[in-house]
Amino acid sequence: MNEYDSSKMLEIMQEAYGLKLVALPQDADVILLNTCSVREKAEEKVFSELGRLNKHKQNRPGMIIGVGGCVGQQEGKRIQQRAPYVDIVFGPQTYHRLPELVKTVRRDRVKVVDTEMPEIEKFDHLPAVSGKKGSSAFVTIMEGCDKFCTFCIVPYTRGPEISRSPEAVLEECRALLAAGVIEITLLGQNVNAYVSEQDNVEFDFTMLLHAVAELEGLKRLRFTTSHPIEMNDDLMEAFAILPQLMPSLHLPVQTGSDAILKAMHRGHTRQDYLDQIATLRDFCPDIALSSDFIVGYPGETDEDFEQTMSLIREVRFDFSFSFKYSPRPGTPAQDIVDDVPELVKSARLKELQDLLQEQVRETMKEQIGTTKQVLVECVGRREGDMQGRTDDFRIVHFQAKPRLLGQLVDVRIIEAYGQSLRGEMVVVDS
Ligand code: SAH
Ligand code: SF4
């Protein structure tokens, strides 16, 4: 989501001021840091990065430094109190106002903060898709979150759930397809909470998926992130019905313990999640599954942690992200004593990551001997290599000509590494 926002910020600045990307920060007139505050560490990194950027600003008076994203939203003017050389602070819902903010700083030589959460759609103010695009693109379909999981800062920084209209989404998709894109990833904090209207009739996420899948030129469709409580049967069935919908799904569960799921306010049980996974696999037997896990949530016992480990063993994930719990300002969990000792958190995280890593290795190995359709995404690291992704989102390296960039090719998998695969292109004799 931040990648999408950053690309839009760039387009806005290009359109308003003709700014171009430079390779080195010391050559920039404007530096915008897009930030994340979902975990403690990400936030600390912002201030150390700002310290480095300030050195460049000293050598280049007039350089404008802006901090956007969720840290900007959450900290507001406190950022400028701690780092007075920051000219602009803005939030995820106000970056369309960047040209005005830059103008104010230049004209009035003042510092500005804009962390409003206007109800209006910032999307109406973003530049239309233009120019040539790569083969893959993101399209934001909804923003914000109404779930209020007790540990999570997102509802406070990104605001309530707001969905774009189906027309606006389809229009952006059509423009991207016309510009050469063949793979679209629909984005949102909870894409399956998407709800809008068309001709006075409710239009939900599954309907949107069907509508996007039908667009001419679209070869691959993905979405992220979705929440288990809004994973209904129609949506799961879409994996069986829509050939464009790629067989991979990120479905965060956080923990396998019912007590902790309840404490986190996730709104479902361990069994609900396992049932969903079974249904998904009925509809799409080869679906690659990934999840997010938090260890060391307040009150997590050894038994709770064991429940998470057993859920992982039961499901077998293809990829995953896992974190130690860290209290976030303003969240309900912040008021509960963070009682799992740091050492215990670290030990649990290691045990969990070892298991997940073992599953990644196993599932990667199982790919050997299969032939996969791969979208060629970039030049690989080894001489003569190109790199791409399979339908189920695995990275593959293989020898191929750079002219195949952006194309779909068949690749036979011959070797599995820790996180990626090696293959050979299957050349069809004609
Ligand atoms: N909307 C998505 C995830 C958004 S945040 C969902 O509901 O699943 C991405 C991930 O960051 C979360 O899934 C969670 O695993 C992690 N995370 C969020 N807050 C955290 C915290 N306070 N401590 C540790 N990890 C956290
Ligand atoms: Fe955060 Fe929960 Fe919303 Fe995901 S669903 S963004 S974890 S509050």
Note the pLDDT tens digit of each residue in 88-136. Answer: 999 998 999 999 999 999 999 899 999 888 765 677 777 777 666 789 9
Residue with the nearest Cα to atom 4 of ligand 1? 189
> How far is the C-alpha of 287 from the C-alpha of 250, rounded, in Å?
10
Degrees (nearest 5) of the Cα angle 191, 192, 195? 90
For residue 59, the model assigns a pLDDT of 94
Closest ligand relative to 297 C-alpha: 1
> How far is the C-alpha of 307 from the C-alpha of 295, rounded, in Å?
11
* Number of residues assigned to the chain: 430
User: How far does residue 224's CA lie from ligand 2's centre (Å)?
Assistant: 13
For residue 112, the model assigns a pLDDT of 92
CB of 191 within 6 A of ligand 2: the answer is no
> How far is the C-alpha of 3 from the C-alpha of 9, rounded, in Å?
10
Phi-psi region of 109 (alpha: psi -120 to 50; beta: other; left: phi over 0): left
For residue 172, the model assigns a pLDDT of 94
> How far is the C-alpha of 95 from the C-alpha of 34, rounded, in Å?
10
Query: Which residue ranges have their beta carbon within 6 Å of ligand 1?
Result: 38-39, 151-152, 154, 189-190, 225, 227, 252, 254, 292, 294, 323, 325-326, 328
By the 8 A CB rule, do 364 and 416 touch?
A: yes
Pairing between strand 30-35 and 64-68? parallel
For residue 117, the model assigns a pLDDT of 81
User: How far does residue 64's CA lie from ligand 1's centre (Å)?
Assistant: 32
For residue 42, the model assigns a pLDDT of 78
For residue 429, the model assigns a pLDDT of 55
| Half-sphere exposure in the Cβ direction for 400 (13 Å, CA) | 30
Cβ within 8 Å of residue 57, ≥6 positions away: 63, 65, 85
Please give the number of the atom of ligand 1 that sits closest to the Cα of 149: 7
Please give the number of the atom of ligand 1 that sits closest to the Cα of 254: 15
> How far is the C-alpha of 3 from the C-alpha of 93, rounded, in Å?
15
User: How far does residue 275's CA lie from ligand 1's centre (Å)?
Assistant: 22
Q: Is 36 helix (H, G, I), strand (E, B) or coil?
A: coil
Residue 289: name the closest of 279, 302, 299, 280 by CA: 280
User: How far does residue 340's CA lie from ligand 2's centre (Å)?
Assistant: 22
By the 8 A CB rule, do 328 and 297 touch?
A: no
> How far is the C-alpha of 47 from the C-alpha of 424, rounded, in Å?
45
Q: Which residues of the chain have pLDDT under 50?
A: none
CB of 206 within 6 A of ligand 2: the answer is no
| Residue 414: other Cβ atoms inside 10 A | 13
User: How far does residue 330's CA lie from ligand 2's centre (Å)?
Assistant: 14
Please give the number of the atom of ligand 1 that sits closest to the Cα of 326: 23
> How far is the C-alpha of 317 from the C-alpha of 391, rounded, in Å?
16
> How far is the C-alpha of 340 from the C-alpha of 220, rounded, in Å?
43
Closest ligand relative to 340 C-alpha: 1
The strand pairing partners of 387, in sequence order, are: 378, 397
